[in-house]
Structure 1
Amino acid sequence: MTWSLKGTYFESCNCNVACPCLFLSPPTEGECNALVGWHIEKGDDESVDLSGLNVALAVHSPGHMATTQWNVAVYIDERATEAQNASLMKIFGGQGGGHPARLATHIGKILGVKSVPIDYSINGGNHALKIPDIADVEITQMAGQGDGPVTISGHPLCIAPGFAATAAKSDKLVYNDHGMAWDLSEKTGVFSPFAYQSEQ
């Protein structure tokens, strides 16, 4: 079973900037609500091409993210064929091994899985993701020294190991599904490349 994915990911949550969960500290609001999105630039699972597809997770952690099991809603790109959908579910569900399997150990309950249109866009330091009637998220890179990016590397709670994360701030984080309703702005965002693969 050999697969690999690479592309860009971003996340935004309800924590104040910068999110303490990245450093295994408690969330600033006592709980964490996050929307995570991946755009697969190039990917394959055996003979199944996964390039160009998007995946998103809505995550609710009722306490410390490192020690509390997460409630997760899964959204798969509606353009995926049956075979592509099965591959994405296997990989992001943790059954394919690699780093997604480590992330999956934090999941306590899957609230649901939906095949939906996912619009993932990148414009310089701006990342956005939209799922009609469910999610509308936009983050903008923070300005650091000399107006350069603010980066975080080596953080222990990491979606994309091996890459420095660029710190951002949310312009909006709107989500409404599975009984959860968020409408936030000026909160944490981060983005970076990602590269996952099956363990050899």
Structure 2
Amino acid sequence: MASDKIKTAAPIDSRHPAAERSDHGLTPWRMKGELVLNCNCTVFCPCVISLGKHPPTEGYCQTWGGIRIDEGHYGGEDLSGLNLGLLIEIPGLMARGNWKAAVFIDERASDRAYNGLVQIMSGKAKGTTGLFSVLVSEFLGAERAPVSYVTEGDTRHITVGKKIQGAVHPVRGADPDRDIVVTNTQYWMGPDITVATASKGKVRAFGRVWDFDGRSAEICQIDWKGPGR
């Protein structure tokens, strides 16, 4: 018996060709690039090894960071070439939550890219950064800003307008041509963390005035994605 259903054309899929398909109603996204963090720890951040079970060296954590997105998308919107600035404050053990966080989004981002990055960095987009929706109790806000992430030699220079001025470089090892790298970790940022320090780490934002020159820093190659992880 012939079907009386009307055949319709298949819907056009206009999503980014690299975007993974999801059945959960969330927008697929991905960010590949590099991240640096500089915090108030006096020696290398113990959170990398303890996964938040050991307190920061000062008993609490104050951190600024920068992200360079080499390749990325949020749904069909390209994120490649954009930079981000971060501000994170943790009152004690990282794993216990109650974080405060803010994000500075490259002023070159389109409105769709800006909104997507807010979803990603607030944890609402799930995936790698989904933990923010659990650990961050106060999202201080998102702001457009001129965010620069420049590498000169082995030093990463990050500026966010007049709010963050940072310079981070790897700590020297016995072999000057090889970085000191903590590998195969379960750290949320990525498995391989380069031990670094900041020659400059100044923050003037959201009422915070921080100076972390000479304090702990990390460099990490990232490959974050969602909503599946």
Q: Same fold (TM over 0.5)?
A: yes
Shorter-normalised TM range:
over 0.9
TM-score normalised over the length of structure 2: 0.81
The one of 188, 195, 198 equivalent to 2:216 is 188
Residue 170 of structure 1 is aligned with which of 198, 208, 212? Answer: 198
Flag the 1:130–1:190 CA change in 2: closer, same or farther, 3 A. same
Using the alignment, how far apart are the partners of 1:71 and 1:197 within structure 2? Answer: 22
Q: Please report the TM-score for the alignment, with normalisation by the length of structure 1.
A: 0.93
Q: What is the aligned length? A: 198
Q: Percent identity?
A: 27
Tell me by how many angstroms 1:156 deviates: 4.1
Hey, what's the Cα distance between the residues in 1 that align with 2:75 and 2:174?
44
Residue 207 of structure 2 corresponds to residue 179 of structure 1 = yes
RMSD: 1.5
1:40-62 CA-partner distances (Å, limit 9, x unpaired) = 10111221111101112101112
Residue correspondence of structure 1 range 32-51 to structure 2 within 5 A? 32-51=61-80
Does 1:9 pair with 2:38? no
| Greater strand proportion | 1
CA distance in structure 1 between the aligned counterparts of 2:188 and 2:65, rounded to whole angstroms:
12
| Deviation of the 1:142 alpha carbon | 0.8
Structure 1 stretches lacking a partner, 5+ long: none
- Once residues 203 and 163 of structure 2 are traced to their aligned partners in structure 1, the CA distance between those partners, rounded to angstroms, is 5
1 CA distance for matches of 2:185 and 2:57? Answer: 17
The residue aligned with 2:110 is 81
What is the DSSP-based 3-state SS (H/G/I as helix, E as strand, rest coil) of the residue aligned with 1:38?
A: strand
Task: Tell me if structure 1 keeps the 8 A contact 2:85–2:160.
Answer: no
Counterpart of 1:124? 153
Cα distance, 1:194 vs structure 2 = 0.4
3-state SS of 1:175 partner: strand
State the partner residue of 2:59: 30
User: What is the identity, as a one-letter code, of the residue corresponding to 2:192?
Assistant: A
Match of 2:184 in 1: 154
Deviation at 1:106, TM superposition (A): 1.5
Larger Cα Rg: Structure 1 or Structure 2? 2
Work out which structure has the larger RCO, using CA pairs closer than 8 Å and 6 or more positions apart in sequence: 1
